Amino acid sequence: MAAPKTDVGAQCRALLEDVRRGIFKPVYLLMGDEPYYPDLVCNAIVEHCIDPSEKDFNELICYGADVTADQIVTTARQFPMMAERQLVVVKDANLMKGFEELAVYCAEPLESTVLVLLLRGASADKRKSLYKTVQKTGVVVDSPLLRDYQISGWISSYYASRGLVIDPEAAALLAESVGTDLGTIAVETDKLLQALPEGCQRIGIEDIEKNIGISRRYSVFELTKELSARNAPKALKIAARMGTAAKFSMPGAVSMLALHFIRILKYGALLARDRNPSPDAKAAALEGVNPYFYREYDMAVRNYPPPKALQAISLLCEYDYLGKGGDGGLSTPPDGLLLELIAKLLNV
């Protein structure tokens, strides 16, 4: 049986609370392809672990490429100098010579040492002893990349954790503008809050348009809405404007459109089996979709029943290939390819 997935966000919020209260584990293994949470925990430990007056003698921050496992073990086994604890942080720890040899120390770590192993965009081998040992004696934070369809939900949860409410349309537009980099979303949120009136707690789509610099009128977010309604004039107008934008990416647009039609297909297949599906069944078919948008998919399924949704997905596969240069696809300007694709989707 597969191990249950850890809610990394909830895990890190609990860790940050402990760190602020002065509660530390002897070893932290912070890793994963998404660096946001590992960096967040590491920075919090550095901020709170050692009093500023004690840092000169009791804090070491180094990089894996510059040290060996033997050197780190020797330092970690030293006692703090006139302080409660010492902190040893190894950034890019996966580049350290003899990295796995740290398992011997981690099996019996010194209680007065806090050892942080930070692997940005990388992971320890879960089959080997270091990972398994730290699971027993310390904390492992394993932060995977989020998929496109998970970002809007993550944004809503992130805003809630900061005492804010973001409208579903605003979360979807921000996700499209920023992408899947959680650190960038956090930075853009900080900028947004500085620009909004003090005490503002609800973020609407107008706030995102004004302060992040993206127009909903010419976004994939609006394009999918018009395709769902088979509104040809508006869909083609949006496509024409999108295709000429400086940051437009044909593969990126196709990826978002494919996700939309896969959801339509799954939802259509569900409705074919059960005209009144349970909320859980609907949520599973429309994974990553805020319930606020369910009515759009009710309309989309009427306009693209499963056979037509399959045709649309086939077209998207073809244009994904062309958009990446297959069969000379790059000889056609991106805006021309997008318009061609949208016209065909409207006519499947």
- As a whole number of Å, the CA-based R_g of the chain is 25
User: CA 230, CA 326: separation in Å to the nearest integer?
Assistant: 28
**Residue 326: what pLDDT?**
74
Where helices occur in the chain by DSSP H, the ranges are 8-20, 36-48, 55-58, 69-76, 102-107, 129-137, 148-161, 168-178, 182-195, 205-212, 220-228, 232-243, 250-273, 279-285, 294-303, 306-323, 334-345
Q: How buried is 177 (Cβ within 10 angstroms: 0-12 exposed, 13-18 middle, 19+ buried)?
A: buried
Which H or E run includes 3? none
Type of residue found at 169: E
Contact criterion met (CB below 8 Å) for 224 and 257:
yes
**Residue 231: what pLDDT?**
95
**Residue 67: what pLDDT?**
96
Query: Kind of pairing, strands 113-118 and 139-142?
Result: unpaired
Domains of the chain, start order = 8-142 (3.40.50.300), 148-214 (1.10.8.60), 217-345 (1.20.272.10)
User: CA 263, CA 219: separation in Å to the nearest integer?
Assistant: 19
| Residue whose structure tokens are 């100098």 | 81
At a CB cut-off of 8 Å and minimum separation 6, what does 308 contact? 348
**Eight-state DSSP code of residue 127:** T
pLDDT along the chain (348 residues), means of 10: 68 95 97 95 96 94 96 96 95 95 96 96 93 96 90 90 89 83 89 84 87 76 93 93 82 90 95 92 90 92 96 94 73 81 94
Output the CA torsion 148→154→156→157 (10° steps). 170
User: CA 226, CA 64: separation in Å to the nearest integer?
Assistant: 51
Determine the Cα angle at 304 with ends 302 and 305, to 5°. Answer: 75
**Residue 228: what pLDDT?**
95
**Cα 271 from chain centroid?**
30
List, edge to edge, every strand of the sheet that includes 139-142.
59-63, 86-91, 113-118, 27-31, 139-142
**Residue 150: what pLDDT?**
87
Say whether 136 sits in a helix, a strand or coil: helix
**Residue 172: what pLDDT?**
87
**Residue 1: what pLDDT?**
38
Partnered with residue 203 across adjacent β-strands are 166
User: CA 11, CA 16: separation in Å to the nearest integer?
Assistant: 9
Q: Dig out the tokens for 106 from the structure.
A: 């981690």
User: CA 132, CA 105: separation in Å to the nearest integer?
Assistant: 13
Q: How many Cα neighbours within 13 Å face the side chain of 230? A: 15
